[in-house]
Amino acid sequence: MMNILLLVFLFYHACNGQCPDGWLRHVDSCYHFSHDQESYTGAQAICHEMAEGSTLVEIETLAENSYLAHAADMRKLQYRIGLTDLAEEGIWLWSGSKEHATYFSWGPGEPNGRNSAGDEENCVVIETAGTWHDVICHDFRHYICELRLENAVVVG
C-alpha cells in the first residue's frame, strides 16, 4: 500500500510541474512570450539560456496553435517559432528536436520562400490569426520559447 501511495504522490508532482517565473503553462508545456526582438539564432540562444531544455516553440497540434495565436492576438504581435527550412529548401524542421514538422498552419500563398525584395525566407512566424508565414531569419522579431514538462515518472 505504501508503494502505491508513493507512486501516486510522485506522479501527481510530476504532472503538476511548475513553470519558471514569467512563463505561462498550457497543457504539458510552459511558454515564454518575448518582450524583446531577436534574430532566429539569437532567439534560439536566449531560449536555451532562459531554462534548461527550452527551445523556440514547436507547434504540433491545432489546439496548441490556437492557444498561441490567441496569446499573440492579445498582445497584437507576431512571434517567431522554431520552424525552419535552412538545411534544405522546402523541408521544414523544428530547430529544437530536429524533427520534420507534421502540423502546419500556413497562410494563403505561404510559404513563398522569398520576400518582395528577393531575400530568402527560411524561418517562420505565427500571426495573430494563427496563420504562419515564412520570414527572413536574420530580421529581429518577437519569439516564443517552449519548455516541456515531464508527464510521468519512471520508478524502477
Whole-angstrom CA distances from 130 to 25, 65, 70, 123 are: 19, 6, 8, 16
Determine what percent of the chain is predicted with pLDDT higher than 70: 85
Contact call for residues 142 and 77 (beta carbons, < 8 A)? yes
> Does 11 score more than 60 pLDDT?
no
Quote the pLDDT of residue 90: 93
pLDDT at 156 over 80: no
Provide φ and ψ at 86, rounded to 5°. Answer: -60, -35
Q: Give the pLDDT band (50/70/90) at residue 70.
A: very high
Least confident of 7-16, 22-31, 75-84: 7-16
Of the two residues 141 and 10, the one the predictor is more confident about is 141
Select 2-148's CATH number: 3.40.50.720, 3.10.100.10, 3.30.360.10, 3.40.50.1970.
Answer: 3.10.100.10
Residue for grid cell 505561404:
110
Domain locations in the chain as residue ranges: 2-148
Q: Identify the band that residue 91 occupies on the pLDDT scale cut at 50, 70 and 90.
A: very high
For residue 33, the Cα-to-chain-centroid distance in whole angstroms is 10
At 105-116, the pLDDT tens digits run 999 999 998 777
The yes-or-no verdict on residue 155 having pLDDT over 60 is: no
User: Residue 103 — pLDDT band, cuts 50, 70, 90?
Assistant: very high
Average pLDDT for 111-127: 87
- Residue 118, pLDDT > 80, answer no
Peptide bond into 108 cis (omega under 30): no
